[in-house]
Amino acid sequence: MTSLIAAFQFLTIFPTIIKRMFTSQEMGRAVGWFPLVGVLLGFALYGVNRAAALLFPQTVSAALTLCAWIAFTRFFHLDGFMDTLDGLFGGWTPERRLEIMKDSRMGAFGTIGGILVLLTQYAALSSTLHLFPSIMLATTLGRWASPLVIYAFPYAREDGLGIEMKRNVTFREIIIATLIAGITSWLVLGWLGFAFMVGAALIAYLTAAYTMRLIPGLTGDIYGTVTTLVEMLILVAFTANFI
């Protein structure tokens, strides 16, 4: 139960129940529950959209849903995505890239990238004909993809929360996360849900592999980037004509 609560407190604005720092082992075990956080987040966001749709047109409902998305997750993943863009594209050496990513100040690459992601998500939410499955798979698979790269790729730094989490993630957490994501994908979309899982894993791998060409490992910001890209591209995919 502690690791489950840790996952919710770490990824969302879930009320603080355990009022202490979680141990490295607890944070490592929490990774296995990340997709479950995504499932409940998906239900919450769909509820916000349906409630907003009672009063407002679809475009406004989509904007309010996106606002709730950011608020419920404390801007967590999007902030990591923006820091990643600043670091990877604003530095010329691996050391400088890591230094920029650690800087809390926002640069041009991060600002522009954040705006483009939000515009794309808003456009997808306001135009999709498959709102429930698009939100559910985006939130769930986005939080399944990050455990994959946490486990599979090295960490770039020797200190910080990310490396402690990385050191304590085992294959057991990946199995738990995959079972949660797989069952959810099947219930939401059947066999096509598994195709989205493959797509999410591919996005995660390509993002991590590209990052490894520029810096010697991943960081917490890269984990957030993987989640953000998977969420955005799944939302976009549900607007395609073949869905």
**Domain ranges (residues) in the chain:** 2-14+23-237
Q: What is the pTM of this model?
A: 0.95
pLDDT tens figures, 193-206: 999 999 999 999 99
| CA 158 – CA 172 distance, rounded (Å) | 24
pLDDT tens figures, 162-187: 788 899 999 999 999 999 999 999 99
Residue 210, SS3 per DSSP? helix
**Average pLDDT rounded to a whole number, residues 56-60:** 96
- Type of residue found at 104: S
Q: What is the pLDDT of residue 162?
A: 77
Cβ(165)–Cβ(21) below 8 Å: no
Among residues 59, 28, 72, 20, which one has the least CA distance to residue 162?
28
Q: What is the pLDDT of residue 131?
A: 97
- Flag whether pLDDT at 243 surpasses 80: no
Going by the DSSP 8-state scheme, the letter that residue 155 receives in this structure is: B
Cβ(132)–Cβ(125) below 8 Å: no
- Up-side HSE of residue 231: CA atoms within 13 Å toward CB? 31
Cβ(237)–Cβ(121) below 8 Å: no
